[in-house]
Chains A and B, each alone.
Chain A
Amino acid sequence: MTSSQSSSIETHKIPMQTENRKNIEQTEHSETRLIQTQFSEVTNGVAISRRDLPHLTFDDFRENALKLVRNNAKVVHFFGYEDDSKESSQNGNGGKIKLLALFRTNRVYRDRRYTLFAATCNAPDAYPSLTSECEPFHLFEREIAEQFGIVPDGHPWLKMVRYHPNSQGKPDAFGNDYSKDNDRNYYYTQDIPGNYPYYSVEGKEIHDVAVGPVHAGVIEPGHFRFNCIGERVLHLEIQLGYQHRGIENLIINAPFKRLPVIVEGIAGDTTVANAVSFAQAVEALTKINISDDAKKIRTIALELERLANHVGDLGALSGDVAFLPPANYCGRMRGDFLNMTLLICGNRFGKGLVRPGGVRFAIDSALCDEIMRRITELEIQVANVIDLLLITTPSVRDRFEDCGTVSRSDAHELGLVGTAGRACGLSYDARRAFPTEYYPNIDIPENAKSRGDVYARAKIRAEEVMQSIAIVKMLLSDSLIEIAPVELSFIETNFYEKDSKDYADFTPLAPDSFVVTINEAWRGELSHCILTDQTGKILRYKIKDPSFHNWSGLAMSLRDTGISDFPLNNKSYNLSYCGFDL
């Protein structure tokens, strides 16, 4: 996992502003302090025994978690799980529910710039909310309250997230009414959103504008409520959950064979990143090492996914300000990038490409040349369109600049990740911080802008597009053109071709283990987390889409912005509804 630079690659470094990068790195170093914590260090993509995770009392857990966050650590995961091991019942201290928190810090620790810290504790029935002291826990605590009925006392914004009864049969933390069915367990007796108190502003000239959950365009459902004074937005409340499919529970109950397919369906536009995160977790739990060639293909697929989405979003941004030429060109070029993924694996979104143990499709020299030819041709076109959109058209700049600004400190406190965070000056990029696959060999530039407005978000994406093209070209031309077919046999025989009778109960995973994987999906930090029980079955599968952090960034962007600029801001983030709703 250490980022050693192989000499053959150094010649292919992506052009970037080196001075700028050094400055940012220095400031980050100076910010970091050594933190004494009872949380223990874990490594991205490496499985450990669950016993190795420190199990703290709740008070210690809370105190240490708050201390970490106050020292610039960011919450990666904070979730509850049901532990059925014997020890936990012997431990006493109340029920079987435990809480697990995982933080990332940018402190220098054993030669690594970014470190993950994790710990668990027994969950009390109610506890003093962490959010009341530190904002980043806000959504995580709401999620825990919804899933397990554990109430965070003093939570300033305690509302439902996805509208389902908790798994413990406890009374609903939000005062909703659930009934027990004959067959099924519990169901919601109210229409969504049920008992959901919207934030309201009062005054003579205040008016509320409610948008959705059904929208005019072909987009996913979500409800947006604007408290406006005239055209000015005072506050935007985003209420999601309409796409909740119960994926985390589905994964626990499904046969292992089906998991890759389920995981690819978490969010259609992030198929590859989700599949990679899952595959890495499974590989860690089965101690499989994959070949460099497979890593390369995964990296290419991840970058192609980034390219298609960024290019598509730049076009949509252009369309939202009624500047049609780039909108049309980008729409076409998005298709061209998707078609490259199609060439590799037969699916435009990369479904079926990534599997635990490797990838299912190789890139031979003919295909390699073809993709190289296409991407070289596209590179010039993309550069021209980006130039037209962001540089040479003043009326577009006028719309983008100073629109929906989020300050660096707000972004820091909300814990924005990915392009949204980088647009506000938070340089965190999982490809640099926790490099996996082939990223340790690639020098990813530090893309950080300080403006925090729509222009910054568009510019970051435009820069990443050019960098991704360079990365794909580099990987394709990197003397190892003939990327060997991947050892499919291993995956097939070990995971799927088991005796069909017992495949429902089959699991290859190491028992009593914990693993977390972090990858930079095109929106930002995507993380999957697996806990296994004594038999190696999945005890808890936790998915965290970057949108989980970033929706609050969109709400912040809209503060004091014209309501007619909402679509533009929304598109500049383009967050996932289904990735959030799971």
Chain B
Amino acid sequence: MIESLLLWVIGIITAPFFSAVILKVKAFFGGKKGPPIFINYYTLMKLLQKGSVYSTSTTFIFKLGPVISLGAALTALMFLPIFGHRPIFSFEGDIIFVLYLLGLGRFFTIAAAMDTASPFEGMGAAREAFFPIICEATMFMILILFYKLTGHLSLVNYFEGSHPVYLWDMAGTSMVFIVIALFIVLLTENSRVPVDDPATHLELTMIHEVMVLDHSGPDLAFIELGSFTKLFFYSTMISSLILPFQREGIFSPYSLLLGFLAIIVVYGCVGIMESIVARYKMDKVQKFILTSFALAFFATVITMEFIK
């Protein structure tokens, strides 16, 4: 239990570091040095030391948004096996709970954005509400497959210890599809290129960034930390799948190193993706996300056919 807690804390603490890996990869492709690798820590510390500014037209919902979205992300991480180790909490059906917990976080971000009554934020909220709906379809298609394979609806049964190996054994081909589908979901849920552009300054094209324009100081720090954690959540999930090795003692240096490496690979892929692909037109984004559903769907169909 102590180990689980420790891993949870390590996860939260290292999440900003991993996000900076993306920046470094992008800088490499752009022929630049890029920001320092600890940039996100500096940003968080800077923001936490500042005060927050609130518009007079906002209500308590606006202040609630950052807290709940951070809380949701942190809680969700409690259910995820990090480096294949047993998480803090686990129960049958917890994955559905976790997905909707993250949904709750998003709901309050959207509500806070609507609270400002700014036309930009309203537009961003509309987009943010729309795209994850398609992700949800993908996630449930993946769950159907995993349930079929393991007979459980819990993250522990998919990602802990040797379970990923079992998944690959049962349906190796399908798992390739699943990894790609999950990667697309990661890009969408975390507002990365080609769905959204986290680096843009142009309000009219933003999705996630525009919704947090009015937040400042510690509130913004909470939002940032929340999105680092959320990205860490999805990356850990994928890294468990792409590294389906039986691990020995979780705190052996070998196992830790391998775990870190796998996560860095996922973050690196996000960085490469952002460097070689331009952002899609807004009306083509849903087609891109639907691709993930198609992949998950085919993976499920193939597997069902062979397993029965």
Q: Contact at B279–A208, with CB atoms within 8 Å? A: no
B205 neighbours in A (Cβ, 8 Å)? 320, 564-568
* B119 partner residues in chain A, CB cutoff 8 A: 207-210
Q: B2 at the A/B interface (Cβ < 8 Å)?
A: no
**Interface residue ranges, B against A (CB under 8 Å):** 26, 29-32, 119-120, 122-123, 193-194, 197, 199-205, 274-284
B35 to chain A, nearest CB (A): 13
- Asked whether, in the complex, the Cβ of B277 is within 8 Å of the Cβ of A209, the reply is no
Does chain B have a CB within 8 A of A128?
Answer: no
Chain B neighbourhood of A207, CB < 8 A? 119, 122
Interface with B: A151-159, A346-354, A394-402, which one?
Answer: A394-402
Min distance, Cβ B196 to any Cβ of chain A, angstroms: 9
Partner of B123, one of A329, A332, A403, A563: A563
- Residues on B with beta carbons closer than 8 Å to the beta carbon of A318: 278
Instruction: Give the residue of B30, B123, B201, B275 whose beta carbon is less than 8 angstroms from that of A216.
Output: B201
Q: Which of B26, B31, B123, B202 contacts A320 (CB 8 A)?
A: B202
Give the interface centre of B26, B30, B31, B278 by most chain A CB atoms within 10 Å: B278
| Interchain CB contact under 8 A, B281 and A324 | no
Which A residues contact B (CB, under 8 angstroms)?
207-211, 216-217, 231, 318, 320-325, 327-329, 332, 393, 395-396, 398-399, 403, 562-568
Decide: A395 and B280 in contact? CB cutoff 8 A: yes
Using known A-B contacts A393-B278, A563-B204, A564-B204, determine if residue A325 contacts B31 with beta carbons closer than 8 Å.
yes
Contact yes or no, B281 A562, CB < 8 A: yes
If A210-B119, A563-B204, A567-B204 touch, whether A321 touches B32 (CB-CB below 8 Å) is no
7 A-B residue pairs with Cβ-Cβ distance under 8 Å, sorted by A, are A207-B119, A211-B203, A324-B26, A324-B29, A564-B281, A565-B205, A567-B204
Are B282 and A322 in touch, CB under 8 angstroms?
A: no
User: A322 and B204 in contact (CB under 8 A), knowing A327-B30, A562-B281?
Assistant: no
Q: Which of A231, A323, A403: most chain B CB closer than 10 A?
A: A323
**When the two chains form their complex, are residues A399 and B282 in contact, meaning their CB atoms are under 8 A apart?**
no
Q: Which 9 A-B pairs give the minimum distances between C-beta atoms?
A: A328-B30, A322-B279, A322-B197, A323-B278, A567-B202, A321-B278, A395-B278, A564-B282, A209-B119
B284 contact from A211, A327, A332, A398, Cβ within 8 A: A398
Distance (Å) between the CB of B20 and the closest chain A CB? 16
A399 — which chain B residues lie within 8 A by C-beta? 278-281
Q: How far is the CA of A323 from the CA of B278 in the complex (A)?
A: 5
Does A231 contact B26, Cβ atoms closer than 8 Å? no
Report the Cα distance A216→B205, complex, angstroms.
Answer: 12
Check if B275 sits within 8 Å of A324, measured CB to CB.
Answer: yes
- In the complex, residue of chain A having the shortest beta-carbon distance to the beta carbon of B119: A209
> Which A residues lie within 8 Å of B199 (CB)?
322, 324
Nearest chain A CB to B211 CB, angstrom units: 14
Cβ-defined contact, B123 with A209, below 8 A: yes
Q: Which residues of B contact A323 (CB under 8 A)?
A: 277-279
A322 B200 Cβ-Cβ under 8 A:
yes
CA distance A210 to B118 in the complex (A): 9
Q: Are B282 and A321 in contact (CB under 8 A)?
A: no
- In this complex, the member of A332, A395, A399, A568 whose beta carbon has the largest number of chain B beta carbons within 10 angstroms is A395
Q: Do A216 and B194 touch (CB < 8 A)?
A: no
Q: Are B282 and A562 in contact (CB under 8 A)?
A: yes
Instruction: State the Cβ distance, B129 to closest chain A Cβ, in Å.
Output: 13
Q: How far is the CB of B288 from chain A (nearest CB, A)?
A: 10
Residues of A near B194 (CB, < 8 A) are 322, 395
Instruction: Write out the residue numbers on chain B whose beta carbons fall within 8 Å of the beta carbon of A393.
Output: 276, 278
Q: How far is the CA of A396 from the CA of B278 in the complex (A)?
A: 6
Given A324-B26, A566-B205, 5 new contacts (CB under 8 A):
A323-B277, A332-B31, A399-B279, A399-B280, A564-B282
The answer to whether residues A217 and B120 also contact, given A324-B26, A328-B32, A396-B278 and a CB cut-off of 8 A, is no
Bound complex: CA A332 to CA B281 (Å): 27
The CA-CA distance from A396 to B193 in the complex, in Å, is 13
Q: Which of A322, A325, A395, A565 contacts B29 (CB 8 A)?
A: A325
Interchain CB contact under 8 A, B197 and A231: no
A325 touches B30 (CB 8 A): yes
Contact between A217 and B275, CB atoms less than 8 A apart:
no
Closest CB in chain A relative to B77 CB, distance in Å: 28
- In the complex, which residues of chain B have a beta carbon less than 8 angstroms from the beta carbon of A395? 194, 277-280
A109 CA / B285 CA spacing, docked (Å): 54
Instruction: Find the B residue at minimum CB distance from A567.
Output: B202
Report how far A322 CA is from B282 CA in the complex, Å.
13
Determine whether the beta carbon of B204 is less than 8 Å from that of A209. yes
Instruction: Give the distance to chain B from A375, nearest Cβ to Cβ, in Å.
Output: 20
CB distance from A458 to the nearest CB of B (A): 12
Q: In the complex, are the beta carbons of A231 and B30 less than 8 A apart? A: no
Given contacts A207-B119, A208-B119, A209-B123, contact A216 B280 (CB under 8 A): no
Query: Taking A209-B119, A322-B194, A322-B197 as contacts, is the C-beta distance between A398 and B203 under 8 angstroms?
Result: no
- Distance in angstroms from B80 CB to nearest chain A CB is 29
